Amino acid sequence: MEQTTSTSADVESARKVCARLHQAYRDHRLYPEGHPSIRSTMDLLIAALESHLDPFGPLVLQVDEDRLLQQGEVVYTHEESRDNLAFLMFRDGIRVLTLSPGIEAREVEVFVDCLTHADQMVDTDHDLSTVLWERDLAHVTTEVVDPFLQGEGVQDDAFNQLRETVLRRLNELSSVDTAEAEATSSADSETDPSAGGGSLERKERRRVDEEDIALTEEEIERGEWLASHPSDPLDDFALVLLEIVADSSGLPAGIEAVVRSLSLVVGKYLDEHRLDGVELVMDRLSVLEEQGRCGKGLAEHVFSEAATAGRLGALITAAVSTSAEKAVSVAQFLARMRRSLFRVLLETMAASNDRAVRKVVLGTLQLEGGVPGEHLWPFMKDSRWYVVRNAVQLATISGEPELVDHLEPLVSHPDERVRREVIRSLGIVGHARCLPLLANALEDGDSTVRILAVRGVLRQGDQQYFSAVKAHVEARNFDELPPEEIEAFLTAYAALGAENTVGTLNKMWKRRFFGSRSLPVRLAAVKALGVIGTTDARRALSEAAKCGEVSLQRMAAQALSGVKTEEPRGESE
């Protein structure tokens, strides 16, 4: 009984959090920035979150198209899809949202701000899931599922039924062939009594041939279209070409014409979006390669000649506009063939103006450790910013030794979206040459680049970079920077400078008769004291926890609860 009560209280608390979240989202859309109603609803949301997370732990919400669920129960829905928070997240691929204990007021505010501007992201090259990832919210995590990669394994029953249909058709065809053979044998016997021995020889040869070309269960699945559809001239031509290849030894003179014809057939299948036909040809060629009945690499050669960027782009576009089932099929097909498609997939990603196409291609290229660098370096010199950014992202996944050589020229790229990806990559790679580049990026004109740079310096650097961070903290315009940037620099300042920064940070948060610092600076200074973890830092936090300002008191209490050692510590990632 206790378990039932606890679960019910958990769900009701989650409903309250979701209601407060929707109210905060609504007020952000209705009122101008700084309006008292916004502050009021944000405080209510933060309080509701604290009341939920403290007793119940992480709030894990499953995201459906028009509702949020917790433990299988609906905790949020809204009639208008445009203002439905579940729809905003679902539309951009978010399937699970988790809010974890220790979430800070700033993180909640950033999350609500992202929701508020979600509609404005539709026409840009960003979406809600991407922006949330870029904001690097430690206690707000999402699970993003590309709809093109869903559905694997859900059609087993349909395939089993189709397999039965294939086998039945094969039996029917076999019966027809047998009847025709018997009729032919009878006619031969009437005209030539000695033909009986020849007929037996033909039957025996046919039995041997059937054993030689017996299809595996997988090949039967791939060939379902042959048995379940009327004969097509293109299908017949493909089978004839495959038999010619199978009967040849190696690649003698003249077989090149057959290979070119196979590439034309595969190209025609791609034009008609008939993936079953493509896969049947490719699978049969692969089997012939394994048996030594054709040259190694023939299957890849045939496919790479047929699969052009234009054809793949049209294939993906048609799949997206047709149905989810078709989109799944195309995505799984590309995933299986990706090793033969590095070059053409990159060309498709570069040439397509359709963001949906680029997204599918990028997801395919990110599988299995990314793409070898040799395919990526030319795209880092492209004139289109999104091509360069995607190439940098893929190169970071592949982890090529020469990566830093190719990233260094891009630190000064004219588009800030490229610079952000480059600095994020440098912050991850950990090469000795990355730190000077990250330190130089502290002077970048884009706030997000500077934030990523200082976090990278903190992650990889030591006290020798303290002076560079200190120079920014002491700059005259520091109070005018965005709150997220102020917090990032003060966190690095405290972590790198340790005990030497306690006095400065302690002065920053205190209200003065003349010249008090801005509220974002004061809050960030209190939070930064929690990073240091020494006795003096704890003493300063205790003083802040007793001041008369609620926001500072709350921040100091959170910082004190997170201090666990007497030694300085860096930012946890």
Quick one: residue 67, left, alpha or beta (phi over 0 = left, psi -120 to 50 = alpha)? Answer: beta
Residues 508/517, Cβ–Cβ less than 8 Å: yes
239-257 confidence digits (pLDDT tens): 888 888 877 654 445 567 7
Q: Is the pLDDT of residue 573 over 50?
A: no
112-134 confidence digits (pLDDT tens): 999 988 877 655 556 788 888 88
Q: Is the pLDDT of residue 47 over 70?
A: yes
Q: Is the pLDDT of residue 491 over 50?
A: yes
30 vs 458 pLDDT, higher one: 458
Both structure tokens of 358: 């680029």
Where does the pLDDT of residue 156 fall: very low under 50, low under 70, confident under 90, or very high at 90 and above? very low
The reported pLDDT for the residue numbered 98 is 93
Tell me how far apart the alpha carbons of residues 348 and 343 are, in angstroms, rounded to a whole number: 9
Range with lowest mean pLDDT among 1-5, 80-84, 130-134, 350-354 = 1-5
What Å distances lie between residue 13 and 25, 50, 363, CA to CA?
18, 10, 37
By three-state DSSP, how is residue 517 classified?
coil
Range with lowest mean pLDDT among 170-174, 228-232, 295-299, 428-432 = 170-174
What Å distances lie between residue 164 and 63, 142, 224, 311, 513, CA to CA?
38, 42, 10, 33, 86
Tokens 């045939």 locate to 302
250-289 confidence digits (pLDDT tens): 444 556 778 888 888 898 999 988 888 888 888 888 888 8
pTM, to two decimals = 0.55
Tokens 């498709």 locate to 348
The reported pLDDT for the residue numbered 493 is 94
322-366 confidence digits (pLDDT tens): 887 887 788 888 888 877 778 888 888 888 888 888 888 888 888
Both structure tokens of 169: 């058709």
Report the chain's mean pLDDT, rounded to a whole number: 79
